[in-house]
Structure 1
Amino acid sequence: MPAAALRPKPLPTQSTAKRPVPLDLPYAPVAKRPLPAGLPREWYVTHNRRLKAMRLAIALLDSGVYLPDQARNARIRSTAELIGVHPPSDATCRLVRALLHRHR
């Protein structure tokens, strides 16, 4: 009998579950580091928007939203409230959908 047949079958993960797994409470954030000084203000705005969009995209993926069509602005904003992030702007919502589309 091959060795692979003797290993126990792994538990289902979010990606293999039959229905979405409820979103856990957010985990402790990583330690923040200071941003580099001397860059234009627009760089900081864009950087923070991308970080927020990534956090929201990860939370949506964890809750079972895999397609950009499933991520309406209301859904993204309710997820932001759930994980403790300020409500995103329309531009941030578009970026979240772009991240979901790109990594699909």
Structure 2
Amino acid sequence: MPAAALTSKPLPTQSTARRPVQLDLPYAPVEKRPLPPGRPRDWYITHNRRLKAMRLAIALLDSGVHLPTQARNETIRGTAELIGVHPPSDTTCHMVRALMRYSR
């Protein structure tokens, strides 16, 4: 039997699948550590918004949304509901699209 017949065909990845690969739900949240004290309130708000935008961008990329033009506010909010995050504001949705744009 030829060696090529013994090798198994690899599973499809997101780029080769005919339909979007099912989104894996988060396994276990990372252990939270307290944020550094003494910063202005705006710093904490921006920091948490960036973390939320990163989580949403990763979830969108995993679900097959690769272009910022595909990520409308409704799509981002639907993904937030799917992964168990509070619905993002318009500012956070804009930040998600910016992260997807600059990751290319």
Band the TM-score falls in, shorter-chain normalisation: 0.7 to 0.9
Counterpart of 2:43 in structure 1 is: 43
CA drift of 1:23 comes to: 1.2
| CA displacement 1:15-39 (0-9 Å, x = unmatched) | 3323211212222111011100000
What is the aligned-residue identity percentage? Answer: 79
Bigger mean CA offset, 60-69 vs 15-24? 15-24
1:3 is matched with: none
* Counterparts of 1:22 and 1:83, CA distance in 2: 12
CA distance, structure 2, for counterparts of residue 66 and residue 98 of structure 1:
12
Amino acid at match of 1:24: D
- Match of residue 62 from structure 2: 62
Q: Which runs of 5+ in 2 are unaligned?
A: 1-5
For residue 12 of structure 1, report the CA deviation from its aligned partner: 2.4
TM-score, with length taken from structure 2: 0.87
Structure 1 residue runs of 4+, over 4 Å off? 6-9
- 1:1-104 aligned at under 5 Å gives the runs 10-104=10-104
Bigger Cα displacement from structure 2, 6-15 vs 52-61: 6-15
User: TM-score, normalised on structure 1?
Assistant: 0.87
Paired with 1:7 and 1:47, the residues of 2 have a C-alpha distance of 47
For 1:14 and 1:29, the matched residues in 2 are separated by: 24
Structure 1: tracts of 5 or more residues without a match: 1-5
Distance 1:40 1:88 in 2: 22
Question: Root-mean-square deviation (CA), in Å?
Answer: 2.0
